[in-house]
Amino acid sequence: MANMVYGEGERAPMKEEAPSPFDPVERPEHYVQGSVECIDAIKAATAGLGGFEGYCAGNAVKYLWRWHRKGGVQDLRKARWYLDRLIASAEGFRS
């Protein structure tokens, strides 16, 4: 449904605004690349991983996904933080 814009004191719409393909809660712009949503990429990337590893891997993907559209270098550092913990956990399994 299109958003209707009314002029001050008007009873009829002045124009119709096209709905945005993005929603700040349901589909934030910085989590969409083309037709792929970050949540779908995370789901695929973490399939088969258990609790902590899945959590760390998913967060790393999230920050890598959005760094150039939202958080910049800080998001890259956050991704590295999660990757470091994932590596430590994976190395612990091999010992």
| Residue pLDDT, tens place only, 39-67 | 999 999 999 998 999 999 999 999 999 99
Cα dist. 60→7, 9, 47, 72 in Å? 46, 50, 14, 14
Q: Which two tokens stand for residue 62?
A: 């999230």
Which pLDDT value is given to residue 33? 81
Task: Say whether 21 sits in a helix, a strand or coil.
Answer: coil
pTM of the model: 0.70
Angle at 79 between CA 83 and CA 32, to 5 degrees: 125
Q: Which of 12-16, 35-39, 86-90 has the highest mean pLDDT?
A: 86-90
CA nearest 47: which of 61, 31, 66?
Answer: 61
